Amino acid sequence: MLDEEVVLKTPKHASERLLIINVALLAGISALFFGGTSEFGMGMLVAAGILAPINMIIYKSVWIDAPRHVNFFYTLALFPYIVSFAITVAGLCSPAVEEIIIDSYTYYSMIEENSSIITSAMPEILEPILSDLCTLSIVACALSIYFITDSRYIIRHILILCGLIAVFFALAGFIMDFIRSQNDALAMPFLGMSSFALFPDKFHWTAYATVWLGALMAMSIYTNQTFTLKHYLFSLRFICLLCAGILIGSIVYAGTPIQKVEALLVMGVGFAFLVIDTFPSIENLNRHYPQKSWRPFKKRYIRGGMPSYVYGILSIICLTFGAVFFADSISNPKERLLVDSSDKYSMGLDQRESLILSGKELIKDRYLFGWGTSSYRVLTGFSQDGDFGDTPWLSPRSDLLQKIIENGFVGVALYLTTPAIFFLIWLFRRDFSLSGFLMLLTAFVVASTAIIDYPFQSPAVLLGVWVLMMSAFRWDNAEVR
């Protein structure tokens, strides 16, 4: 019996099956409801996220060999986000903005005498609470991957299924854009002209696609190589690479220059790892196809080495195109990697700079705990000048800056605590794999974009990064490999 069959037939699989459903459900819901940016989509994410802690309780009760203190450590990993939620609730009890009604019109005014350290400049209660609960649900779901399963087979199921969901939306996006190109009147008005698939902002789509591109490339590395073409075309490795090709196509089509560079870097590194995995050493060849003898020179270096040569060429192509995109954009004063000059709906560099400068001014008064979750839109309504129009901006085009404005440096520290601890554990364990490294690299390049852009405005992207990150940490600590 195969190891995979043993894993799937154990009682533990009940919790692992629910884990797969939970992650796929959140990935599908977030992509379906406009990247999770709508209130309904966020509510659905919160509802589906409740399955994660319930699954942890079930796992501990039905699996006799579950670690003794697993629920304690799971709660401990969630604790910084529970604290963040508590701070948000405390801030709502001490508002910094009051509502004034004059002649049936509603206005908002800053409460000058508010000297509370923890406050909220968001007059609505539902939005900040829903936002924090959505984050808590996403983190709870991702952490359950680490604490419930110790099998790479289960993680592979999760990542490939989520990758297929992303491919489905990529194909839908191409079809929708083709229809829109034939007649602008057919465009969906609620999505806007800067959308892709069901993501109102195609920047969020490309960040989402990059996450699952990295996941599919990592799973292709994990899957065995076949050496006959008819078998290769039906292998799981080829399916993963084909799906990754569809996602990279959507990223090059819809992404900003920096996103194209990041995605091509991930794919180029992925193909380079495939070169390492299929290099025609006797050990590699026997690992992929142990039934044959690879001692003859011709069989070893021509037939056995062919996959390695092809992957090497593809890696060079991806990295070369990435370097070309980088050089062309960095030398263009209208782009500097952040702006796609061919997109007439894209915000210019001067506007981005102005938003960042005005955002930095908001930090000075409340740098410790910030102005409260989801308060940026209200704050810009008080401070923005006529150059930005009469509609408040939802983001300063930097997730890091917005996090500091809304939750202060304390909020940023709480948010980064759990990932930092898991990363240190991963480092000290010193048991690394190519697939695990590629997953972490992908999560890092997407997350690092949050310093200069706003990918995490979409819960779908936040979910993808967390799932990939926790999958990588568990991947290199799995018992069943």
Higher-scoring residue by pLDDT: 178, 107: 178
pTM of the model: 0.93
Highest mean pLDDT among 65-69, 166-170, 195-199: 166-170
Q: What is the DSSP string of 91-122?
A: HHTSBSEEEEEETTEEEEEE-TT---SS-B--
Write the pLDDT tens digit of every residue in 106-125: 677 777 777 788 988 888 88
Q: Cα(44)–Cα(27) distance, rounded to whole angstroms?
A: 11
One-letter identity of residue 397:
R
Q: What is the mean pLDDT of residues 31-37?
A: 89
Q: Cα(72)–Cα(78) distance, rounded to whole angstroms?
A: 10
Write the pLDDT tens digit of every residue in 453-476: 899 999 999 999 999 999 999 999
Vertex 206 angle, CA 31 and 454, to 5°:
90
Q: What integer pLDDT is reported at residue 190 of this predicted model?
A: 57
Higher-scoring residue by pLDDT: 345, 82: 82
Q: Cα(182)–Cα(455) distance, rounded to whole angstroms?
A: 30
**What are the domain boundaries of the chain?**
3-475
Q: What is the mean pLDDT of residues 337-362?
A: 76
Of 120, 145, 132, 182, give the one whose Cα is nearest residue 371.
120
Q: Evaluate if residue 387 carries a pLDDT over 60.
A: no
Q: What integer pLDDT is reported at residue 354 of this predicted model?
A: 78
Higher-scoring residue by pLDDT: 198, 4: 198
pLDDT tier, 385 (very low <50, low <70, confident <90, very high otherwise)? low
Of 225, 241, 248, 246, give the one whose Cα is nearest residue 318.
248
pLDDT tier, 391 (very low <50, low <70, confident <90, very high otherwise)? low
For 269-290, b/e burial (b = at least 16 CB within 10 A) is bbbbbbbebbbbeeebbeebee
Q: What is the mean pLDDT of residues 418-426?
A: 96
The residue length of the chain stands at 481
Q: Cα(428)–Cα(421) distance, rounded to whole angstroms?
A: 11
**201 touches 255 (CB < 8 A):** no
Alpha-carbon separation of residue 179 from 243, 271, 343, 442 (angstroms):
23, 34, 18, 32
Vertex 296 angle, CA 290 and 298, to 5°:
110
**Phi and psi at residue 200, to the nearest 5°:** -60, -30
pLDDT tier, 5 (very low <50, low <70, confident <90, very high otherwise)? very low
pLDDT tier, 344 (very low <50, low <70, confident <90, very high otherwise)? low
pLDDT tier, 1 (very low <50, low <70, confident <90, very high otherwise)? very low
pLDDT tier, 386 (very low <50, low <70, confident <90, very high otherwise)? very low
Vertex 305 angle, CA 218 and 244, to 5°:
25
Dihedral angle sign, alpha carbons of residues 126, 128, 132, 137? positive
Q: Cα(222)–Cα(219) distance, rounded to whole angstroms?
A: 5
Q: Evaluate if residue 137 carries a pLDDT over 50.
A: yes
Q: What is the mean pLDDT of residues 419-425?
A: 96
Q: What is the mean pLDDT of residues 297-310?
A: 88
Alpha-carbon separation of residue 243 from 108, 216, 237, 432 (angstroms):
49, 7, 10, 25
One-letter identity of residue 86:
A
Write the pLDDT tens digit of every residue in 72-111: 999 999 999 999 999 999 999 888 887 777 766 767 777 7
One-letter identity of residue 370:
G
Q: Evaluate if residue 224 carries a pLDDT over 60.
A: yes
Q: How far does CA 244 lie from the centroid of its chain?
A: 15
Q: Cα(333)–Cα(346) distance, rounded to whole angstroms?
A: 15
- Tokens 């990939």 -> residue: 468
Tokens of residue 73, six digits: 């450590």
Task: Report how far apart the first and last C-alpha atoms of the chain are (Å, whole number).
Answer: 15
**Residue 205 CB-density burial (10 A; 0-12 exposed, 13-18 middle, 19+ buried):** buried
Q: Which alpha helices (H) appear in 149-256, and where do they start and end? A: 152-182, 202-222, 229-232, 236-254
Q: What integer pLDDT is reported at residue 442 of this predicted model?
A: 97
Q: What is the mean pLDDT of residues 6-34?
A: 81
The dihedral over CA atoms of 469, 473, 479, 481, expressed in degrees to the nearest 10, equals 60
Highest mean pLDDT among 218-222, 361-365, 450-454: 218-222
pLDDT tier, 271 (very low <50, low <70, confident <90, very high otherwise)? very high
Q: Cα(298)–Cα(282) distance, rounded to whole angstroms?
A: 13
**94 touches 118 (CB < 8 A):** yes
**Any idea which of 157-171, 211-225, 279-293 has the lowest mean pLDDT?**
279-293
